[in-house]
Structure 1
Amino acid sequence: MSTHDHPGHHHHHDHGETSDLSETELRVRALQTILIEKGYTDPAALDAIVETYETKIGPHIGARIVARAWTDPAFREALLTDASKAAAPFGHEGRVGDHLVAVENTPDRHNIVVCTLCSCYPWDVLGLPPVWYKSFAYRSRTVKEPRAVLREFGVTVPEQAEIRVWDSTAEVRYLVLPERPAGTEGWSEEQLAELVTRDSMIGTGLPRTPAGDRP
């Protein structure tokens, strides 16, 4: 499964076609249009908010946190002990990581995050949630058949390894600390952060692998 798909459904995304939008997304778009037309909302302000989450907050903060944990054992322990406290200094403007819990992937355990009730998600650390994260198929199937769902994302977990599913709530949000890719010895935090993907911090993907020689 690519990052543009979700379990049980396949979409070809064309942002010019409203047929690709869910009923909720259509309602949000209609409400946004009304608010803009009546002068209650500035479209430039909305664009600025979206841009901030995509380019300044987004998964970039999460990637920096993961890269620090890969290179600094003391920070890794602090992150696993109290992720909210460890993540707080990484905020773009102010605190991030409220109600955050970090769970670590190992050769014997793979973690995957879902929100079965709605779509609770650590926006301030991972940015805007992917569409599939909010889909009913993902929310329902991940708990029942996580190994199959992971295969659809292209992630094969060894049969002997445990898969743990973490259910996000309004009080607790999760960040997966993926395993550090082999062949990255001596890499800087900045270089390692480039390998960290949003999906690897949700558990539906793995970090990128080094391509060729060390950058």
Structure 2
Amino acid sequence: MANHDPHHHHDHEHGSELSETQLRVRALETILTEKGYVDPKALDAIIEAYETRIGPHNGAKAVAKAWIDPEYKKALLADATKAVGSLGFASRVGDHLVAVENTPKLHNMIVCTLCSCYPWEVLGLPPTWYKSAPYRSRTVIDPRGVLKDFGVTLPSDTDIRVWDSTAETRFIVLPMRPAGTEGWSEDQLAELVTRDSMIGTGLPKAPGAAS
């Protein structure tokens, strides 16, 4: 169900050629800049931030720290906004972040039924499927079926709880730590944490599967 859209849909003989979409974006950027609506330096800073500093690797760091540090885990579940902020990850839109913990008897999933509210500061840009109407509607009424579409099958006695994100409150799933990772460092554990496992549509990688 997850989509991985290529950046270029057509092969070009010359690397300088731009796709139609890229040309439209470039033209819009030029117009907004000329009219003084956009500061090119600010735009470059935002793009650089989302390409290098903001992304699911931030959430993975928070999850890995919670797995090995009981006090941090307690803080994360009590006030995720403050806990991830202590790691340098702060929301730019003032929303409140809530962490929900998976257990052997409870699996959490995140959705936004109204639009695509998403914790950008810890998960980066939302995947295309997260914003799609089928995911937003089906997750609420058939979460187990949606999980199956993602290749996740849970025990029949595991409850599934769906959390609906809003502009004011957004969620991140604290997945269960994989077995066989005793003694692993925080960095090693972070390699096992996937974006989908923090949305609830996936599970962490198994030991040995980390790239």
2:153 is matched with 156
Match for residue 53 of structure 2 among 36, 53, 56: 56
Supply the AA of the counterpart residue of 2:119.
P
Q: Distance in 1 between matches of 2:66 and 2:22?
A: 39
Match for residue 194 of structure 1 among 168, 187, 191: 191
Match for residue 169 of structure 1 among 166, 169, 183: 166
2:28 is matched with 35
1:110 is matched with 107
- Please tell me whether Structure 1 or Structure 2 has the larger radius of gyration of its CA atoms: 2
Moved over 4 A (4+): 28-31, 41-48
SS in 2 for 1:32: helix
Q: Percent identity?
A: 63
2:17 is matched with none
1:22 is matched with none
| CA positional deviation for 1:33 | 3.5
Q: Distance in 2 between matches of 1:130 and 1:47?
A: 22
Q: Distance in 2 between matches of 1:115 and 1:30?
A: 31
After superposition, the C-alpha distances for 1:66-112 in whole angstroms (9 at most, x for unaligned) are 000000111111111111111112226xx348400000000000000
Match for residue 90 of structure 1 among 64, 87, 92: 87
CA RMSD of aligned residues (A): 2.6
CA contact (8 A) 2:110 2:200 kept: yes
Q: Distance in 2 between matches of 1:161 and 1:133?
A: 23
CA contact (8 A) 2:95 2:167 kept: no
Q: Distance in 2 between matches of 1:54 and 1:157?
A: 34
CA contact (8 A) 1:36 1:42 kept: no
Change (3 A) 1:44 1:155: farther
Q: Distance in 1 between matches of 2:30 and 2:197?
A: 40
Match for residue 9 of structure 2 among 14, 17, 20: 17
SS in 2 for 1:37: helix
Gaps of at least 5 residues in structure 2 are 11-20
Gaps of at least 5 residues in structure 1 are 6-12, 19-27
| CA positional deviation for 1:133 | 0.5
Q: Distance in 2 between matches of 1:53 and 1:45?
A: 13
Q: Distance in 2 between matches of 1:153 and 1:48?
A: 34
CA contact (8 A) 1:61 1:91 kept: no
Change (3 A) 1:162 1:29: farther
User: With structure 2 as the length reference, what TM-score do the two structures score?
Assistant: 0.83
The answer to whether structure 1 residue 146 and structure 2 residue 143 are counterparts is: yes
Supply the AA of the counterpart residue of 2:3.
H
| CA positional deviation for 1:147 | 0.2
Q: Distance in 2 between matches of 1:192 and 1:201?
A: 14
